[in-house]
Structure 1
């Protein structure tokens, strides 16, 4: 309501003389509308809601109680303050009126000063209520905005930390961006199966997506002479390279102590960093876990990581075609990879190749 605009009072009474009295008392301060029946009042309210309603009880066809019940049952009108203005003076009548949702109950004959003060107080109360509701909405909007900002910051931090590890290896490029999207695509497909449907909820999939960039964070602990070696690693060098899984787990475990443990993305990040090199048949590292002893997060990452390594150019190999990568992963079903996840991979292989194209490195290394 703009400054200087009068608030609207709807007076509902089947006696015209009573309407005239109300208008005489209130017209100087308010815009007073009148309805001589409950049905007429409902039609007026449907077109334009008043700021407050003065409602008589004893009216033909539809009494004031029924009008009040209808208004309080509808979301669009339930917040309009209703004051019963009636000749019914029994305590039971007042109790019933208030129980239906009326804010006040005034008996006739009216006292003009009391009527004006009560109306003013209820309008102030309603305005305060609306202001509080709006403040709560603004607060909720700000909390949501802040939560979104923190989530975005968290995502950026995860990618940045992953990129820190990948920057040690100049050949990996957009590897972390591709693999986190592969993991999400694969998890969404796996969630269609009863075996994983209950676990792979949208929130869990989001956490997996956020944590995936940290899968090789442990590379920061591997010496450059090993990490950047163009030729084949010696047995000793390979043993050191394998320790990147432990380095990654320990780094993320240290971070867990200072971050809210209720957020499970760090738990998944730790699982992925430590176990993504494990194999379904137990021939992987660092612990030689087999089957479902390997965390699901790490089993998903294993497929994503190997696929991207296959289609990417390396010092020791050219970039393989998508078709060849699919064949190699298929051959690893039941040995390197969980059989069900290979089936899921085959179902979404076209989405994998699209991700690879969308996040190809500048030198075109991804085929």
Structure 2
């Protein structure tokens, strides 16, 4: 029994080849040549070839005839190379049609090589082995790059989160505001239809919304009473300070979104916000989302100049400010998330109120 299991495992470890040809004799030649070293799938026309090429597990390499009725090999190659899940599969054309023009066309479509008919077994086997080895090397390189990119991205996200909390520590002893606000923004983004990817990026970018507070004097930031007009003008400069800190990084979706949030989360739906007096949908969606998340948490949090509002009072204020301070559609969506909002408040409560 052990030997049978070992044989089964070794068989499953063999590379999987898809042989595509509309002539049975040609298939028999290739299958007979390769069956000892590879698992074999067979398609006798282009339509079946496309179906089997997309079936799991995906083939490791495709041996593809060109001259087939209805869907020829060139079209099969074009379709497979145009789809993300199959574009990495190496394709070798196996054909008697081997003019320079055809060879150029096949390579331009994404094929890696040609094998001419009639088959010369040693040449065919060597080319298949070579391209499988190259493909495996590319896969390993891709995985290494992907992992390194993930680590770098995670490091950047953590640094940005800590930077955002560093700014919040100036007027909040724990910096928990940015965590609550980011989670409020996430659930609102998802409820309005934003994709998982963009909502995740917003969750990571939102803690940067007030990073510019680092540049505001403590005497203004921690003032227990209302700011006078001169102090308020200084306070408003935290937006531009934050934008300057975050810079202009078009290569990073995270940094670009963080910059947009920092720049626009104090704009108001009716155009009375700052710094640019944007109105309505001219305010980027992420800015409108973060405006709601930021104000809600500010209202329900204790500050040197006020006691925290209840959840009911804060939600009532958001409702009253529809089409004034806030996007009415987003406010309605936020109000429906009250159970999740309360859960976030519990999870990221200030230590002395947990």
TM-score computed with the length of structure 1 as normaliser = 0.64
Give distance in 2, aligned partners of 1:270 and 1:78: 44
Give distance in 2, aligned partners of 1:305 and 1:231: 20
Change (3 A) 1:322 1:101: farther
- Identify the residue that residue 320 of structure 2 maps to in structure 1: 331
Give distance in 1, aligned partners of 2:58 and 2:225: 77
Tell me if the contact between 1:162 and 1:176 (Cα under 8 Å) persists in the aligned partners.
yes
Please list, as runs of the form range in 1=range in 2, the aligned pairs for 1:305-316 lying within 5 A after superposition.
305-316=294-305
Q: Secondary structure at the match of 2:233?
A: helix
Change (3 A) 1:234 1:147: same
Tell me if the contact between 1:165 and 1:216 (Cα under 8 Å) persists in the aligned partners.
yes
Change (3 A) 1:124 1:175: same
Give distance in 2, aligned partners of 1:100 and 1:123: 10
- Identify the residue that residue 159 of structure 2 maps to in structure 1: 157
- Identify the residue that residue 67 of structure 1 maps to in structure 2: 28
- Identify the residue that residue 140 of structure 2 maps to in structure 1: 138
Q: Does 1:273 align with 2:262?
A: yes
Alpha-carbon shift at residue 134 of structure 1 (Å): 2.6
Alpha-carbon shift at residue 321 of structure 1 (Å): 2.2
Please list, as runs of the form range in 1=range in 2, the aligned pairs for 1:115-134 lying within 5 A after superposition.
118=122, 126-134=128-136
Which of 217, 225, 228 is the aligned partner of 2:211? 217
Q: Does 1:358 align with 2:347?
A: yes
Alpha-carbon shift at residue 279 of structure 1 (Å): 1.5
- Unaligned residue ranges in structure 2 (runs of 5+): 1-7, 16-22, 32-39, 43-51, 64-94, 98-113
Give distance in 2, aligned partners of 1:304 and 1:51: 54
Q: Considering only CA atoms, is the larger Rg found in Structure 1 or Structure 2?
A: 1
- Identify the residue that residue 32 of structure 1 maps to in structure 2: none
- Identify the residue that residue 237 of structure 1 maps to in structure 2: 231
Tell me if the contact between 1:177 and 1:359 (Cα under 8 Å) persists in the aligned partners.
yes
Deviates more, 1:125-134 or 1:138-147: 125-134
Aligned residues: 273
Tell me if the contact between 1:49 and 1:77 (Cα under 8 Å) persists in the aligned partners.
no
Alpha-carbon shift at residue 216 of structure 1 (Å): 0.3
Tell me if the contact between 1:272 and 1:298 (Cα under 8 Å) persists in the aligned partners.
yes
Q: Secondary structure at the match of 2:148?
A: helix
Give distance in 2, aligned partners of 1:102 and 1:185: 60
Q: Secondary structure at the match of 2:353?
A: coil
Alpha-carbon shift at residue 186 of structure 1 (Å): 0.6
Give distance in 2, aligned partners of 1:133 and 1:140: 10
Alpha-carbon shift at residue 77 of structure 1 (Å): 11
Change (3 A) 1:291 1:79: closer
Alpha-carbon shift at residue 49 of structure 1 (Å): 8.1
Give distance in 2, aligned partners of 1:145 and 1:267: 23
Give distance in 2, aligned partners of 1:123 and 1:282: 70
- Identify the residue that residue 112 of structure 1 maps to in structure 2: none
- Unaligned residue ranges in structure 1 (runs of 5+): 1-44, 53-61, 83-93, 107-117, 192-199
Tell me if the contact between 2:289 and 2:330 (Cα under 8 Å) persists in the aligned partners.
yes
CA deviations on 1:158-211 (whole Å, 9 max, x unpaired) are 1122122112223462111111111111111111xxxxxxxx343332332222
Give distance in 1, aligned partners of 2:277 and 2:127: 69
Deviates more, 1:132-141 or 1:208-217: 132-141
- Identify the residue that residue 250 of structure 1 maps to in structure 2: 244
Give distance in 2, aligned partners of 1:77 and 1:227: 59
- Identify the residue that residue 48 of structure 2 maps to in structure 1: none
- Identify the residue that residue 119 of structure 2 maps to in structure 1: 104
Alpha-carbon shift at residue 337 of structure 1 (Å): 0.6
Give distance in 2, aligned partners of 1:182 and 1:281: 22
Q: CA RMSD in A?
A: 3.6
Give distance in 2, aligned partners of 1:81 and 1:319: 65
Give distance in 2, aligned partners of 1:293 and 1:176: 25
Change (3 A) 1:49 1:167: closer
Tell me if the contact between 1:51 and 1:81 (Cα under 8 Å) persists in the aligned partners.
no
Change (3 A) 1:77 1:174: closer
